[in-house]
Amino acid sequence: MKKFLPISDKIPKILHGADYNPEQWYRYPHVLEEDIRLMKLANCNVMSVGIFSWATLEPKEGVFTFKWLDDVLDTFAKNEIYVFLATPSGARPTWMSQKYPEVLRVSENRVRNLHGARHNHCFTSPVYREKVEIINTKLVERYADHPAVIGWHISNEYSGNCHCHYCQEAFRDWVKQKYTTLEDLNHAWWTTFWSHTITDWSQVESPARHGEMSVHGMNLDWKRFVTDQTVDFFKHEIGPIRKMGSNLPVTTNFMEAFEGLNYWKFKDVLDVVSWDSYPTWHEFDDNSEQAAWVGLIHDMKRSLKNGKPFMLMESTPSSTNWQKVSKLKKPGMHFLSSLQAVAHGSDTVQYFQWRKSRGSSEKLHGAVVDHYGKEDTRVFRDVANLGEALSKLDALVGTTVEPEVALIFDTENRWAIKDSQGPRNVGIHYEETIRRHYRPLWDQGVPVDVIDMECDFSKYKVLIAPMLYMVRPGVGEKIERFVENGGTFITTYWSGIVDENDLCFLGGFPGPLRKTLGIWSEEIDGLHDGQTNGVTMTKGNTLGLEGTYEAIELCDLIHLEGAEALAYYQEDFYANQPALTVNYLGKGKAYYIASRNQEPFHTDFLSQVIKQEGIKRVINTDLPEGVTAQMRSDGENEYVFLSNFGEREQKVSLTDAYYVDLLNAEPVASELTLTQYEVRLLKRKAN
């Protein structure tokens, strides 16, 4: 098992801290002093500074004021608090928008925005790029070697797109470079449809609701362009850092399962992945569904850089103020949900925000320090307690997990599925389907990588690719090899439909997966809400499953071409046609789930697959409801996180190894009781 280096060798510990905005408090000097005292009390060792400080750093064009930041960083250095120093491009000074309107974003309706809010600049504007380069260079010059600074926090939550003439030009260049000839462009975008043929490159324009939206290949390319342009801007921001010889790690904070960008395109540009997590805990009586989803996202962030520990860059110590309802975290949930990030591979727990802003739109967003200003609050105590626990977890730094199971959650596929008009235009439910396939693995404490279809599959034993609608070039062959070499592949209805341009595969679905799956999908039936079919398992099927599952929403009508049927439809004109199949190819096998099945299908099906393929669970036991187990390892020791997201007390039997408690070093009994929202950190020898 590999072990990674700490994010910073200046502080090889699990980092704990928050976004910090001292520039909001310059008229309150006592607040800044008090902050240091409180940071130490809260067991915080890292702060993200400068994220939205541009107007304070450069109050007038070309006039820079760094004194305030010098003071903050010097004070931090004296107090052993480290810093992720941000580039301020997430929001720009008013003078800039006023003098150079081209920095303002143009919406899809071709109207330029007014100055305001944040995250709304043009990524292409030469002026914006120049201004960013200047301020970033100044920051690097002044602070790259500052003892408190351990990394660069580039911008903030990149998102959105701009339709200005610069961006249109850049899109045209991008398209030209990709297709070279108009003939190839027109073929890829299938523009003869509705007479949309492009006869001159200048006719290429970004999609818009009051213009072109019906050319799916073009919509897809626009989204790809937006990602590429954002990555290009990101690289532009990093330019001065590297040019001036700073080797400090670079990150930019991602958002959950944000759809606007393909985060996989950032993975080689950043040094460490970070993300901002704001789950709606306690929205429902049972938190497990939410917890499993957050676990999936954590796994995806870890998978982005091949298992390298990531950062939980933001989370709230209590509630947000932008969700529909601002629910407080109940006692225990802060500790549990923070350690959930660590369990899945985060080497940090950080918050938005250290102290509540006194005014403006985030004044009531949760923070470590409330307007009340002192440490005797529930939230502060929760944060301090967690910090104390994190300070005992140095051994975890750089450790990771090497899952045997991977789940494909692919951004381009997601874009294409949702843009496409097909069997169900209300509720195609791609994300939900991904969740349904992850949840049973989470329930059983099976480590999972969440990857995209460009990744290397060869290290996994089981590869799950629900709704693999788009199959990009080479992926079908890669899956075939994976199966031939002994892998188990699982996919579902609505797979193998289109290529990378959203052009349908000719000659029969599921296109390049047809041979591997040994089936031909002739038609797919979209069911209205409330309509169902039955899927009855065959007697003596190889999975050992019995009875009938309920199918909803999508039922694929398939023919066997070498595969074996494990279940048949019960009703409608396709009764007795296969609904679940397995195909044996080389040393492996490939399952096709033809219909969208209700629970307990996924639990039953995946449990059997896990068992039959000998997939390791973190703890070799059936976990009770609401409890999950994750692990990290350095090759010698395994660090097991047993977490109860359920509402009830649960018992877990620990007879498969000798465990000690990581926090107090005491041996753990062979039966462990977990109260509501309790998490236990255990250590055992790796075998």
The set of catalytic residues is: 157, 314
Only segment of 116-124, 127-135, 197-205, 551-559 that touches Zn ion (CB under 5 A)? 116-124
Which alpha helices (H) appear in 307-392, and where do they start and end?
333-343, 378-390
Q: Interface with ligand GLA includes 156 (CB under 6 A)? A: yes
Asked if 130 contacts 53 with a C-beta cutoff of 8 angstroms, the reply is no
Asked if 664 contacts 683 with a C-beta cutoff of 8 angstroms, the reply is no
Single out the residue of 122, 517, 535, 615 in contact with Zn ion (rule: CB under 5 A): 122
Minimum distance of ligand GLA from residue 352's CB (angstroms): 4
Please tell me the count of residues contacting ligand GLA according to CB under 6 A.
10
Near Zn ion in 59-88, by CB under 5 A: none
Q: Which two tokens stand for residue 494?
A: 């609505």
On the question of a cis peptide bond just before residue 207, with omega within 30 degrees of 0, the verdict is no
Question: Between residues 40 and 365, which has the closer beta carbon with respect to ligand GLA?
Answer: 365
Query: Using CB under 5 A as the criterion, what x/- string covers residues 633-662 for binding Zn ion?
Result: ------------------------------
When CB distances are held under 5 to 8 angstroms depending on the partner's kind, the choice from Zn ion, ligand GLA, none that residue 167 binds is: Zn ion
Angle ∠(482,488,492) on CA atoms, nearest 5: 105
Single out the residue of 124, 411, 433, 491 in contact with Zn ion (rule: CB under 5 A): 124
For 164-177, give one letter per residue: b (16+ CB within 10 A) or e.
bebbbebbbebbee
Burial of 456 (0-12, 13-18, 19+ CB in 10 A): exposed
Single out the residue of 314, 553, 604, 678 in contact with ligand GLA (rule: CB under 6 A): 314
CA separation for the pair 433, 540 (Å, rounded):
28
Which residues are within 8 A (CB) of 449 and not within 5 positions of it... i.e. 6 or more apart?
A: 299, 302, 303, 307, 403, 405, 406, 407, 455, 460
- Rg over alpha carbons for the chain, rounded to the nearest Å, is 26
Minimum distance of ligand GLA from residue 249's CB (angstroms): 19
CA separation for the pair 113, 199 (Å, rounded):
31
Question: Between residues 169 and 599, which has the closer beta carbon with respect to Zn ion?
Answer: 169
Query: Using CB under 6 A as the criterion, what x/- string covers residues 261-300 for binding ligand GLA?
Result: ---------------x-x----------------------
CA separation for the pair 8, 13 (Å, rounded):
9
Minimum distance of ligand GLA from residue 175's CB (angstroms): 32
Only segment of 314-322, 334-342, 605-613, 673-681 that touches ligand GLA (CB under 6 A)? 314-322
- Got the DSSP string for 153-168? E-SSS------SHHHH
Minimum distance of ligand GLA from residue 224's CB (angstroms): 24
Minimum distance of ligand GLA from residue 310's CB (angstroms): 15
When CB distances are held under 5 to 8 angstroms depending on the partner's kind, the choice from ligand GLA, Zn ion, none that residue 164 binds is: Zn ion
Q: Interface with Zn ion includes 170 (CB under 5 A)? A: no
Minimum distance of ligand GLA from residue 51's CB (angstroms): 6
- Got the DSSP string for 573-595? TTTTSEEEEEEEETTEEEEEE-E
Name the residue number minimizing CB distance to ligand GLA.
276
Single out the residue of 15, 167, 566, 654 in contact with Zn ion (rule: CB under 5 A): 167
3-state secondary structure string across 264-301? HHHCCCCCCCEEECCCCCCCCCCCHHHHHHHHHHHHHH
Question: Between residues 312 and 450, which has the closer beta carbon with respect to ligand GLA?
Answer: 312
Query: Using CB under 6 A as the criterion, what x/- string covers residues 341-370 for binding ligand GLA?
Result: -----------x---------x--x-----
For 76-115, give one letter per residue: b (16+ CB within 10 A) or e.
beeeebbbbbbbbbbbbbeebbeebbbbbbbeeeeeebee
Minimum distance of Zn ion from residue 221's CB (angstroms): 17
CA separation for the pair 509, 561 (Å, rounded):
12
Only segment of 134-142, 157-165, 500-508, 607-615 that touches Zn ion (CB under 5 A)? 157-165
Q: Interface with Zn ion includes 220 (CB under 5 A)? A: no
The dihedral region occupied by 217, where left means phi > 0, alpha psi between -120 and 50, and beta the remainder, is: alpha
When CB distances are held under 5 to 8 angstroms depending on the partner's kind, the choice from ligand GLA, Zn ion, none that residue 276 binds is: ligand GLA
Minimum distance of ligand GLA from residue 253's CB (angstroms): 6
Only segment of 12-20, 165-173, 583-591, 650-658 that touches Zn ion (CB under 5 A)? 165-173
Contacting residues toward ligand GLA, per CB under 6 A: 156-157, 276, 278, 314, 320, 322, 352, 362, 365
Contacting residues toward Zn ion, per CB under 5 A: 122, 124, 162, 164, 166-167
